[in-house]
Homo-oligomer: A and B are copies of this chain.
Amino acid sequence: MIASVAPGVPVADISHLVPSYDIERGARLLESAIPYYPAGSVHLGVVDPGVGTPRRGIALRSERGDVCIGPDNGLLIWGVERLGGVSEAVELTSDSHRLRPTSQTFHGRDIFSPAAAHVAVGTPLTALGPTLDPATLVRLPRPEPEVTAGGRIRARVGVVNVYGTCQLDLAESDWNRSGLGRPSSVMVQVGGWTWVVPYVRTFGEASQGDPLLFTDSSGKVSLAVNRGSAAKRFGLEAGAWVGLRPAEGSPPG
């Protein structure tokens, strides 16, 4: 569809591996990858279990100039906010910028791809439909970590990647809020279990099969097992909560 509307425009896939219906996983993937695309790119996202219902199709221009196109279900807004926030938003209603007849179940093909291709060749967003108020955009909940003075933290597992590494909704800078700074070793609590895990810079600082905490390439605190799966070893999946507190000088337990 893109090649039909915009021949020669290069297409670079982020991923086709987002689990079915998992809007949050798609939103996090877009958010983490989008800063590394060239400024002004057009980003097409389709995780769309509500296709054909009254949920809106949208195009959002970011302050950096990129445009994100897809369903209004929370998939796009975090990515746009990583690029400075929304500078322009429209609902995709134009009959002349979609495939006709339009199916009820495949808007990725019929509405979103053609819209992205039109934008890529210079069509202004206002041609695609009426302006909408960014305050009305659908947002997914995103619980903040709970950080207490004294260094106790509760944080949510945001993403489990293909390696089983668990990215927490916790920035390295959040440790400063605890008043203790970045610890070198952390007591990690999941359910009734507690582990002492070294907080290192990279995987290879732990022995093969051993656990580690590190600050990942997005600046998030992550729990991993060197050449293994933290998700399996700690029994974690996206949405689970993990307890953390510095372990320096304190015995485990």
Taking a contact as CB atoms closer than 8 A, the residue among B38, B49, B204 that contacts A51 in the complex is B204
| Chain A residues numbered 14-56 whose CB sits less than 8 Å from any CB in chain B | 20-21, 36-38, 49-53, 55
> Which residues in B have their C-beta under 8 angstroms from that of A163?
20
Q: For chain A, what secondary structure do more than half of its interface residues adopt (helix, strand, loop), or is it mixed?
A: loop
A42 to chain B, nearest CB (A): 12
CB closest residue in chain B, given A55: B204
Is B3 within 8 A of A105, CB to CB? no
Is A110 within 8 A of B217, CB to CB? yes
Is B11 within 8 A of A202, CB to CB? no
- Known contacts A105-B214, A216-B105, A203 near B52 by CB under 8 Å: yes
Interface status of A4 (Cβ within 8 A of chain B)? yes
Interface status of A251 (Cβ within 8 A of chain B)? no
Oligomeric state, in copies: 3
In angstroms, Cα B205 to Cα A51, docked, is: 10
> Which residues in B have their C-beta under 8 angstroms from that of A217?
103, 105-106, 109-110
In angstroms, Cα B10 to Cα A38, docked, is: 15
Is B52 within 8 A of A204, CB to CB? yes
Total residues of chain A contacting the partner, CB 8 A: 39
Interface status of A227 (Cβ within 8 A of chain B)? yes
Taking a contact as CB atoms closer than 8 A, the residue among B4, B105, B202, B204 that contacts A37 in the complex is B4
10 more A-B residue pairs beyond the given contacts A36-B99, A53-B204, with a C-beta to C-beta distance below 8 A: A1-B36, A3-B37, A4-B36, A4-B37, A4-B38, A7-B38, A51-B203, A51-B204, A52-B203, A52-B204
Interface status of A177 (Cβ within 8 A of chain B)? no
> Which residues in B have their C-beta under 8 angstroms from that of A37?
3-4
Interface status of A12 (Cβ within 8 A of chain B)? yes
| Chain A residues numbered 77-118 whose CB sits less than 8 Å from any CB in chain B | 99, 103-106, 109-110
> Which residues in B have their C-beta under 8 angstroms from that of A12?
3, 11
- Known contacts A105-B217, A110-B217, A202 near B4 by CB under 8 Å: no
19 A-B interface contacts by CB (under 8 A): A3-B10, A3-B38, A8-B10, A20-B163, A21-B227, A36-B109, A49-B204, A50-B203, A50-B204, A51-B202, A51-B203, A51-B204, A52-B204, A53-B202, A53-B204, A104-B214, A105-B202, A105-B216, A106-B216
- Known contacts A4-B36, A37-B4, A227-B21, A104 near B202 by CB under 8 Å: yes
| Chain A residues numbered 138-178 whose CB sits less than 8 Å from any CB in chain B | 162-163
Interface status of A233 (Cβ within 8 A of chain B)? no
